[in-house]
Amino acid sequence: MSFALRKQGEIVVVDVEGQLIVGNRQELKQKVLDELERGEKKFLIDFSQTGYIDSSGLGVLVSLSKKIREQGGELRLANLNDDLKTLFELTKLDTLFQIADTRERALESF
């Protein structure tokens, strides 16, 4: 499990590889917060290579969304597979996040 960050134009794209769970959620949070502190405002988290997410992982996404918004930034999510979509629907987090089917659509939506 790892997180790869790359810049695409003015958007920071984060790929979540493997699981986003209690054991690694802090690493994702810190990486995104570091970028936010450097002045980055637009973030896209891509889940195309993600297995499952637990409640801690979902909590980190909620926390990051708040912090990014507080700094006047924007967060988008993309490429949730059917299991992850179900997870977001069960928790109604699909109503809290802007979620795109593909990375391209997410990038266009900023």
Partner 1 sequence: MTPDRSRGLPIGSLHLALELEIPSDVRYIERVVEMVTRQCEQLAYSTRQMSLNVPVALTEALSNAILRGNREHLTKRVQVRCDVNRERLVLEVVDEGNGFDLEECLVDATSPENVVREDGRGLFLMAQLMDSVERFANHGNVVRLTMRRHD
Residues that bind partner 1 (CB under 8 A): 1, 19, 21-23, 51-56, 58-60, 62-63, 66, 82-83, 86-87, 90-93, 95-96
Taking the least distance from each CB to partner 1, the nearer of 8 and 55 is 55
Least spacing, CB of residue 56 vs partner 1, in Å: 7
Taking the least distance from each CB to partner 1, the nearer of 52 and 102 is 52
Least spacing, CB of residue 91 vs partner 1, in Å: 6
Least spacing, CB of residue 83 vs partner 1, in Å: 4
- DSSP states of the chain: -EEEEEEETTEEEEEEEEEESTTTHHHHHHHHHHHHHTT--EEEEE-TTEEEE-HHHHHHHHHHHHHHHHTT-EEEEE---HHHHHHHHHTTGGGTSEEESSHHHHHHT-
